[in-house]
Amino acid sequence: MPQTYTDLNPSPRLLLGPGPSAVPPRVLRAMATPLLGYMDPEFLVLLDETQALLRETFQTRNELTLPISATGMAGMETILSNLLEPGDKLLVCAAGFFGGRLEEVALRHGAEVTKIEKPWGEAFAPEEIEAALKKSAAKVVAIVHAETSTGALQPMEGIGDVVHRHGALLVMDCVTSLGGVPVKLDEWGVDAAYSGTQKCLGGPPGLAPVSLSDRAREVIRNRKRKTEVWYFDLELLAKYWGPERMYHHTVSATMVYALREGLRLVMEEGLEARWERHRANAEYLWNGLAELDLVPYVAPAYRLPTLTTVRVPDGVDEAKTRTRLRDEYHIEVGAGLGPLKGKVWRVGLMGYASQRENVTLLLGALREILR
């Protein structure tokens, strides 16, 4: 007799980890909508609208703005594999796990990687990037705007100028910032950015929005050989998302419904109001943590409103605390990655999850567990 599988009935979870984040009811309902085919004229309108909404969210006029049909990490690999050819030089600014990922992925595509590193949780000054570029020129400079492993926010002002002065392209990871804190591609001179739907945009994991400047696009157009990854080939993807509507792969109506609805919610709230909400709820969290003698890992100047790493106090069992939060309060927070494993909890207040009452609940639960 075949094994039987129970009805889908997951326990409730308040997702306050590093992602996925809580998905708002309107987005969940959108995903229960019957599908349109990928060439249906009504679907093509939804694609155009989604791209327009993404441009507004990224604060850019970049024509080449679309979601990759995969998760955020595929956004990173799409950008790197399209911009870099074997032997091309990449400068990575790494102060956390995802900075390291940039190197790891770029090496797969044959790039020559130079890495400047800072202790986890810190940020780079434009002068430090300039010094590195003076020592060794690069075709592309990659930096993480919001480091999900540490909860640090990289100030972006001035970096685009430095990178462009040295003839390079600026790539920015904004997986954990887009829709939660200011992201301004054009103002900052970012040439290529990638994000994910499951953090501050209020969607499920499944799409990776990317945006590339005309300058970055020109670099791709002038490649000596085609990019290695057919599925991530932006030249081919642009032919489906653009007016040619050439079939490449079957873009998921369900995922586009979800992203479009999440972005509609962003626009209804307004970007400024949304950034302010994330900031206010993060400050409420930070103040509440202080009352519990809990200390964020990152210094106030670089602290990311959408994700806070909290030092585990001496004598407290990191994993057991997370388990009790989950089993007794139905709250998910994240564990530390790499060198921070066992040393921090990661608390995300992203998108729909960034609500005052969620912070009140988390603080109350921590107060009870840690007393």
Computed over its alpha carbons, how large is the radius of gyration of the chain? 21
Distance CA 312, CA 29 (A): 38
Q: Coil, helix or strand for 294?
A: coil
Query: Can you read off the two tokens belonging to residue 143?
Result: 């930096």
Map the footprint of a second copy across residues 264-303, applying CB under 8 A: 264, 267
Dihedral pair phi/psi, residue 192, rounded to 5°: -155, 130
Closest contact distance (angstroms) between CB of 367 and a second copy is 23
Dihedral pair phi/psi, residue 114, rounded to 5°: -110, 140
Closest to a second copy by CB, 113 or 123? 113
By CB under 8 A, residue 255 contacts a second copy:
yes
Q: Are 327 and 371 a contacting pair, CB within 8 Å?
A: no
By CB under 8 A, residue 222 contacts a second copy:
no
Closest to a second copy by CB, 44 or 369? 44
Map the footprint of a second copy across residues 324-353, applying CB under 8 A: 326, 332, 334-335, 337
Closest contact distance (angstroms) between CB of 131 and a second copy is 29
Closest contact distance (angstroms) between CB of 161 and a second copy is 29
Map the footprint of a second copy across residues 26-65, applying CB under 8 A: 28-40, 42-43, 46, 49, 52-53, 56
By CB under 8 A, residue 360 contacts a second copy:
no
Map the footprint of a second copy across residues 61-90, applying CB under 8 A: 69-74, 77, 81
Distance CA 232, CA 209 (A): 12
By CB under 8 A, residue 20 contacts a second copy:
yes
Dihedral pair phi/psi, residue 221, rounded to 5°: -60, -30
Binding residues for a second copy, rule CB under 8 A, total 78
Closest to a second copy by CB, 97 or 124? 97
Closest contact distance (angstroms) between CB of 338 and a second copy is 10
By CB under 8 A, residue 247 contacts a second copy:
yes
Distance CA 41, CA 235 (A): 22
- Indicate which single residue of 91, 109, 156, 303 sits in contact with a second copy (rule: CB under 8 A): 109
Closest to a second copy by CB, 78 or 129? 78
Q: What is the residue type of 207?
A: L
- Indicate which single residue of 1, 12, 134, 291 sits in contact with a second copy (rule: CB under 8 A): 12
CA distance readout (Å), 346 to 2, 73, 341, 363: 41, 19, 10, 14
Query: Can you read off the two tokens belonging to residue 66?
Result: 């679309």
* Omega within 30 of 0 (cis) for the link into 126: no
Dihedral pair phi/psi, residue 316, rounded to 5°: -100, 135
Closest to a second copy by CB, 173 or 261? 261
Helix (H) or strand (E) segment spanning residue 43: helix 41-58
Closest contact distance (angstroms) between CB of 80 and a second copy is 9
Distance CA 189, CA 171 (A): 10
By CB under 8 A, residue 249 contacts a second copy:
yes
By CB under 8 A, residue 147 contacts a second copy:
no
Distance CA 266, CA 260 (A): 10
Tokens 């590195």 belong to residue: 132
- Indicate which single residue of 135, 187, 250, 287 sits in contact with a second copy (rule: CB under 8 A): 250
Closest contact distance (angstroms) between CB of 75 and a second copy is 10
Q: Are 95 and 117 a contacting pair, CB within 8 Å?
A: yes
Q: Are 93 and 99 a contacting pair, CB within 8 Å?
A: yes
- Indicate which single residue of 166, 215, 220, 231 sits in contact with a second copy (rule: CB under 8 A): 231
Map the footprint of a second copy across residues 161-200, applying CB under 8 A: 196, 198
Closest to a second copy by CB, 127 or 187? 187
Binding span for a second copy by CB under 8 A among 12-20, 138-146, 154-162, 277-285: 12-20
